[in-house]
Amino acid sequence: MELSREVNNFIDEYVRALKEGNAAIFAGAGLSISSGVVNWKELLRRPASRLGLDVDKESDLVSLAQYIYNDSKTKTPLTELINNHFSQTGGINRNHILLSELPIKTFWTTNYDKLIEQALVQTGKNPDVKKRVNDLAVIKSKRDAIVYKMHGDVEVADEAVLIKNDYELYEKKNQMFTIALKGDLVSKTFLFIGFSFEDPNLEHILSRIKILLDDHVRTHYYFIKEVSEEEYQNTEEGREKYRYDKIRQELKCADLERYSIKPLKVKKYDEITRILEIITERYNRNNVLISGSAQDFNDFKISGIGAENFIHEVSKSLNKNEFKVATGFGLGVGSGVINGVLDGMAENRTRNINEHLIMRPFPQYATNGKDIQVLWEEYRQQLLSECGIAIFMFGNKVIKKEGSDEEVVVDAGGVFREFDIALTKNVKVVPLGVTGYASRRLWEQVVNNFSTYYPDYPHLKEKFNKLGEENIDYKEIIQILNDILKEIRGGD
């Protein structure tokens, strides 16, 4: 998929916001559509027909909901719609998972479903869900993200924001939600996804932000499916409707830019998923796995330093270049990785190890009825899903010959497996051939098929060749390695 300049600029900006902890999501009904959850218009179709109205001819759904309320003098028919539909329908989709895996701590939504918080739980996070104003005063212990459900939740459907009366009284009854959203819009970079911007409450809040801050408003972004002529009937009426909708969309986009909300046009909805995947890949390229194990160092061919100290210096250099280093604590390698990162942290006088190091020591025996090989596979999959680059060094183990007490050094199969997993997850692979063993074999594989592994980085081929140059000075190879990583990471 070819990305437009606007989308590429957005990706760079949003990845930067993720790194700084300032990224936020505002989710509308469209986020849940592919999960089987229907939009509000479809939910109102049957009760509207009872009033003699055609929902397809109505653009003001808030007024339509008010008419339904007026007819019965109660919100019961509307709350039953929410309860019956959102409590039984829908499952987490790919976009939910991608968003929940990113380090986003602030989610706002007008949706009544529970899919966002369920996705966060599924990815191992602890969401603090705010359904009512009273919830804002309570802070959930050890929360990883806050989900603000400013229009209510299926569990409290009788309190949901549904009709004109609710919108008119929103500022009075839910002022704390408004204040919280204003604060986030000022301090965070929002991505609006699955949102139609027909919500009168949101438009009110955005206009207030503009009034309060004049032109000093943070830039936000939203996805919008481009009006396509192919989706209209090839008749005079169809062509006229296409021209009308096209003009209306362009005017809507221009109007939203008054609030510093920039449109990101996509031709198909599945392009949104691919863009979220690219954001994840680019963000994760700040996280570097050092894959390797070693019981033997005789093939180490770098001058000026010993093998263990080399591991230490590589890890320290990554820390100084603001990479987050991940390790599975491989035998003979893991300790050097950790020591190197800690040394870099000490020199920079930083203490929060979670910002600099991802440690996932492999289990040493079977647990929970799972075979040890199954556990190791799960650990490898999880570790590589958190990283965007993987460095491979050494990769050997000592075993006894079959039927003999003689010990021999063989390549470590785990390093090869981590290389294969990295490829399936689009993790960029950087084998250090000069460290020998499995890494040498992997380096040869990469440099001999460089255009396959790095089609977008042909200019890095010469530097990759250096990673296998025997007796190269350790300072030179560490510099080359960091140059490669920074080029892949981008933004430097």
Q: Give the per-residue pLDDT at 372.
A: 84
- For 285-489, CATH gives 3.40.50.450
Contact predicate 358/326, CB 8 Å: yes
| Angle at alpha carbon of residue 315, lines to 309 and 318, rounded to 5° | 140
Q: What DSSP line would sit under 390-458, residue for residue?
A: EEE---EEEEEPTTSS-EEEEE-HHHHHHHHHHHHTTPEEEE-GGG-THHHHHHHHHHHTHHHH-TT-G
Q: Give the per-residue pLDDT at 339.
A: 96
Q: Give the per-residue pLDDT at 351.
A: 82
Specify whether 220 is catalytic. Answer: no
Residues 6+ apart with CB under 8 A from 24: 104, 105, 106, 107, 108, 184, 188, 189, 190, 191
Q: From the candidates 151, 220, 312, 356, which is the catalytic residue?
A: 151
Q: Give the per-residue pLDDT at 58.
A: 83
Percentage with pLDDT > 90 across the chain? 61
Q: CA 119 to CA 113: how far, in whole Å?
A: 12
C-alpha of 180 from chain center: 23
Rg (CA), the chain: 27
Reported as a single tens digit per residue, the pLDDT across 403-430 is: 787 889 999 999 999 999 999 999 999 9
Q: Give the per-residue pLDDT at 475.
A: 97
What does the block give as tokens for 310?
Answer: 């080399």
For the chain, the structural domain boundaries read 5-282, 285-489
Spell out, as residue ranges, where the chain has pLDDT lower than 50.
Answer: none
- Whole-prediction pTM value? 0.84
Reported as a single tens digit per residue, the pLDDT across 240-284 is: 999 999 998 999 889 888 888 899 999 888 899 999 999 999 999
Q: Give the per-residue pLDDT at 89.
A: 57
Q: Which residue has the tokens 């194990």?
A: 293
Phi, psi of 359 (to 5 degrees): -115, 125
3-state secondary structure of 128: strand
**Tally of CA atoms within 13 A in the half-sphere of 444 that contains its CB:** 6
- Write down how long the chain is: 492
